[in-house]
A and B are shown apart, each in its own frame.
Chain A
Amino acid sequence: MANMNLYSRGDKGFVIANMILIGLFALSTLYPFIYIASMSLSSGFAAQAGTVVLTPVDLTVAAYGKVLSEPQFWISYRNTFIYTIGGTVMSLIIIIPGAYALSRPQLYGRRFWNLMVAFTMWFNAGLIPFFLNMRDLHLLDSYFGIIIAFACNAFNIILLRNFFESIPSSFEEAARMDGANDFQVLRKVYVPLSKPAIATVTLFCIVARWNGFFWAMVLLQDENKIPLQVYLRHVITELSDDEQFAATLIDAPYSVDTVTAAIVVCSIIPVLLIYPFVQKYFNKGILLGGVKE
């Protein structure tokens, strides 16, 4: 990619300026994270006075104490794990066999089935019919509803199907010789050979589930079922206007801002933990397979 040997002395200024500029861009990307971490570790008074800019002021973990002592925080955290793990497993159960079937040349009506999947990328019934459908299916306020309703999408199926199609048929023929049927061919040939693509789809699912908020907010009223993102939204948009909560802040070592920042940090940490794995796969550009069918 980089043309190491292809650079003359006259380019030095250009190369250095470029390095500095791109470094500045990276720093400006990083800054909001540093700011929010510092905010979460500052005292409520310092935050309120607007003195937190880069590093924590009056270092304290009071905001974390407040967050971790809220039962709702733990309920929501647990729910997010349920939705993430349950949802990702459900996705793989539907997507892997479906993508395999859609990649088979001998599938009757293959063009039709593929079009039926792809069409949903171009035309969508929209928020209201989707919501009413969920209500009619009695899937409001339900763990199962959230897990199943977002388990699949055209993009992931097409991505995996394309990968399956790119696997030379000679691998499969060898297994067929040994008398393998479709279930076995999928399990013993296609799945092992498609690990990078399956890993990509898995990571897409995990990230989408962990971050998903809009439909969880719309479909779940029961506070015992809401995920972390919905709780976080509640804290961010409603707590700051909540006078009762504001009253508890007088003389407290934390403020709405430091508490918000602390929850943000708590919900980013798991993302940071899996991020190195995510990076490894996305760098290979596997996701490009999904752009073209």
Chain B
Amino acid sequence: MEHRTTRLNRIADHLRANWQIYVLLAPTIIWFIVFLYRPMYGLQIAFKDYSVFRGIDGSPWIGFEHFHTLFGSDQFIRALKNTVIISMLTLLFGFPMPIILALMFNEVLNQTYKKTVQTVVYLPHFISTVIISGIVITAFSPSSGVVNTVLDWFGFDKIYFLTKPEWFRPIFIGSGIWQEAGFSSIVFLAAIAGVNPSLYESAVVDGASRWQMMWKITIPSIMPTIIIMLIIRIGNLLEVGFEMIILLYQPATYQTADVVNTYIYRQGLQVGQYDLAAAAGLFNAVVAFVLVMTANTISKRYSRTSLW
């Protein structure tokens, strides 16, 4: 009893001295509960026969039925396959570009030139997906687009790119690289800036060329950063830019373009099958969570740098 009063007293003293911190914290915590944790409660509809009238709590449980439906659905399997393929291709072509760019920036000696180029290549990162899709649609348009105009100059037939399934992925991945490669190079530039200058000084004394220094000093020095960024990317493997896909795809290209999130968007928000779409979303989130956690464990073990 006595212990309890002293403990209560301590809490009261603590609150008297620090109540303002809790006032400052409250809006953040309330926001997280209302907008991020409350939807997690709503995720239970993935296991329910949800109807708008009965609501989340009133709808009956049906176990894993939605998951059976999903894995029996060709559309969902296709979306899953496309997600993995598009992520892998994005990783394969998109990951090396910022590293190459950062190494190239490092070799530019004229600071004005360097700053100008950097200003230009960072810009697309700040442009919205809608605008980029607008540029892509205009540039690849069959009659008026510049791509077909150039094809025409060289005597090739015009191609209606955005209706061709085989062209969807190159266009999507290419526009992604165009938008993000420059900005993503900042991380690697920062890593290069942290390399000990005395390494280069002694290499120059030994008569090394810049090409040799890049391979023998710069790249090995930034390897930990490269590995961490690679692990982050693998952790986010399921996160393809589905907003861009929604803007660029059409029924004719679904077979190569439809990913899990666009499937969820169509089934849930357009068709109104909320429960089935929520089940697909839950599956996506769980796989993503496992990937991120695995990535963090691996990074802890190999680089002694945890991501958080």
Chains A and B belong together in one complex: yes
Q: Which residues of B contact A106 (CB under 8 A)?
A: 14, 18, 21
| A34 CA to B36 CA, complexed, in Å | 41
B268 near A128 (CB under 8 angstroms)? yes
Q: Does B149 contact A (CB under 8 A)?
A: yes
A1 interface neighbour in B187, B192, B284, Cβ under 8 Å: B192
Q: For residue B104, give the distance in angstroms from its CB to the closest CB of chain A.
A: 5
Q: Does B277 contact A (CB under 8 A)?
A: yes
A129 near B40 (CB under 8 angstroms)? yes
Q: Does A2 contact B (CB under 8 A)?
A: yes
B210 near A233 (CB under 8 angstroms)? no
Q: Does B143 contact A (CB under 8 A)?
A: yes
Q: Does B69 contact A (CB under 8 A)?
A: no
Q: Does A282 contact B (CB under 8 A)?
A: yes
A50 interface neighbour in B24, B143, B186, Cβ under 8 Å: B143
A128 near B281 (CB under 8 angstroms)? yes
Q: Does A117 contact B (CB under 8 A)?
A: yes
| A131 CA to B193 CA, complexed, in Å | 44
Known contacts A29-B124, A107-B25, A182-B24; is A14 also within 8 Å of B210 by CB? yes
A52 near B104 (CB under 8 angstroms)? no
A268 near B131 (CB under 8 angstroms)? yes
Q: Which residues of B contact A117 (CB under 8 A)?
A: 28, 32
Q: Which residues of B contact A257 (CB under 8 A)?
A: 138, 141, 144
| A136 CA to B57 CA, complexed, in Å | 12
Which one, B1-9, B78-86, B107-115, B164-172, is touching chain A?
B107-115
Contact with B along A101-115 (1 / 0, CB 8 A): 110101110000100
Q: Which residues of A contact B (CB under 8 A)?
A: 1-4, 6-8, 10-11, 14-15, 18-19, 21-23, 25-26, 28-30, 32-33, 35-36, 39, 47-53, 93-95, 97-102, 104, 106-108, 113, 116-118, 120, 122-133, 136-137, 148-149, 151-152, 157, 181-183, 186, 207, 210-214, 218, 229-230, 232-233, 236-237, 240, 255, 257, 260-261, 263-264, 267-268, 271, 275, 278-279, 282-283, 285, 287-288, 291-293
Q: Which residues of B contact A237 (CB under 8 A)?
A: 137, 247
Q: Does B251 contact A (CB under 8 A)?
A: no
B108 near A22 (CB under 8 angstroms)? yes
A183 near B178 (CB under 8 angstroms)? no
A128 near B264 (CB under 8 angstroms)? yes
Q: Which residues of B contact A240 (CB under 8 A)?
A: 137
Q: Which residues of A contact B134 (CB under 8 A)?
A: 36, 232, 236, 260-261, 263-264
